[in-house]
Amino acid sequence: MTIRIACLGDSLTRAQFSVDYLDLLVRRHPPGAVRPARFGVNGDFAHNLLQRLDAVVTHPPDVITVLIGTNDARASLVGYPVEQAMKRKRLPRRPSAGWFQQCLGTVVARLRAETDATIGLLSLPVLGQQLDGAAAQASQAYSRMIAEVAATHEVAYLPLHERQTEELRRVDPPPVPYREVTPAAALGVLVQHAVLRRKLDTISRRRGLVLTTDHIHQNSRGAGLVADAIDAGLLTRCP
């Protein structure tokens, strides 16, 4: 039997700047057992995801995962270029915690109403790797909102943030301060990876980062924890 899984999200799901957790997920199962469909768009907020659900519900899969909110959480941080993001992503209002939770709830409500899929909401990867820093605290706060939405709509909650927090506590990472990723910095990672053929894990290691390449996008270790959360929370339940 083949499980059709649709993975919804932002750049972490598109996997241009991150190790591909969809690929890791497929490799864990026998050939043909898991057939993924990717619905990741770079820079998306929960509002943007809500606008593009037609492509998912038109051909509903067996399983749907939602990994969204990293950009919403980043927008709450001092120094994030909110006005630029609003223009680039055509947001009708300034990002906020309440609006994020409202949009995510509407996403889940529509997926539940228009598909018979098993749905799982992933909490956010840890932003940065200083757990007491503002970035990590923002990702934790937004993850709590995701848990509330999952409970309200009675869908699975996949504790990615909690798994990554445990991993960072276990390895006691170098205290590398969080730095917001600019478009130029993201392009720099892409050039190193796609043009210079440097592995994302090599870029990560050189920067002293444990789970990410740039405090946001995932290396193999971080993406592996995404795959772990999906596998344990959803795919082990499927026949």
pLDDT digits (tens, 9 = 90+) for 109-166: 999 999 999 999 999 999 999 999 999 999 999 999 999 999 999 999 999 999 999 9
Q: What is the pLDDT of residue 239?
A: 47
Question: Nearest Cα to 40, choosing from 28, 24, 22?
Answer: 22
Q: Measured on CA atoms in the order 222, 105, 149, 98, is the torsion positive or negative? A: positive
Q: Does domain 3-237 have CATH number 3.40.50.1110?
A: yes
pLDDT, tens digit, 9 for 90 and up, residues 39-55? 999 999 999 999 999 99
In the chain, where are the structural domains located? 3-237
**By the 8 A CB rule, do 45 and 99 touch?**
no
pTM: 0.93
How far apart are alpha carbons 189 and 16 in whole angstroms?
10
With vertex at residue 78, the alpha carbon angle to CA 226 and CA 165, rounded to the nearest 5 degrees, is: 25
**By the 8 A CB rule, do 163 and 229 touch?**
yes
Q: What is the pLDDT of residue 34?
A: 95
Unique residue bearing structure tokens 């991993």: 167
Reply yes or no on whether the pLDDT at 96 is more than 70: yes
Q: What is the pLDDT of residue 237?
A: 57
